[in-house]
């Protein structure tokens, strides 16, 4: 099959395929007429690359999976190098999850504090007192009245 058909079947563009060729992820074979020629195995490689990219893997991280398939293994993650990439990616994801949980805890704390302060202000206004205004709002009201 030619580059346009492969790109369409793989859900990508011919430009991306040429880039993958430059990186050595996709074999560059030419037919007798000079056109690039691809087979079902190339489609399989591209599907592996695209799936890993959808999971957040960089192109270089896909290389061991591609090489594993090219070596004749039934799955791109059958080789030790692919398993090591999985191991590193899982550690990276765990680190991101930990950071996100820390940020979430901080945001939840800020939210709870802000709600408490809002409720305290509302309670003060309900008791006949004026809730304090922020400095900017008070200054803007005075400036508006003076103009």
Q: Report the mean per-residue pLDDT for the chain.
A: 89
pTM of this prediction exceeds 0.85: no
Spatial separation of the C-alpha atoms in residues 35 and 24, rounded to whole Å: 18
Distance CA 57, CA 86 (A): 9
What number does CATH give the domain 1-78? Answer: 1.10.1660.10
Segment 79-104 shows an average pLDDT of 97
Q: How confident is the model over 57-88, as pLDDT tens digits?
A: 999 999 999 999 999 999 999 999 999 999 99
> Do 12 and 50 form a contact (C-beta atoms < 8 A)?
yes
**Token pair belonging to 33:** 């007429």
**Band of the pLDDT at 135, cuts 50, 70, 90?**
low
Q: Where are the domains of the chain?
A: 1-78
Helix axes 40-54, 59-70, angle to 10 degrees: 150
Residue with tokens 């398993």: 83
Exposure of 7 in the CB half-sphere (CA atoms within 13 A) = 14
105 in helix, strand or coil?
helix
């Amino acid at each position: 099959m030619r580059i346009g058909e492969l790109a369409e079947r793989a859900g990508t563009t011919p430009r991306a395929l040429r880039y993958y060729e430059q990186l050595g992820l996709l074999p560059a074979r030419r037919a007798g007429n000079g056109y690039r020629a691809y087979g079902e195995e190339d489609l399989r490689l591209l599907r592996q690359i695209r799936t890993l990219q959808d999971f957040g893997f960089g192109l270089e991280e896909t290389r061991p999976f591609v090489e594993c398939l090219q070596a004749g293994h039934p799955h791109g993650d059958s080789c030790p190098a692919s398993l090591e990439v999985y191991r590193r990616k899982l550690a990276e994801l765990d680190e991101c999850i930990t950071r996100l949980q820390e940020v979430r805890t901080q945001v939840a704390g800020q939210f709870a504090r802000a709600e408490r302060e809002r409720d305290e202000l509302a309670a003060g206004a309900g008791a006949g007192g004026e809730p304090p205004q922020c400095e900017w709002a008070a200054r803007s009201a005075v400036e508006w009245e003076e103009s």
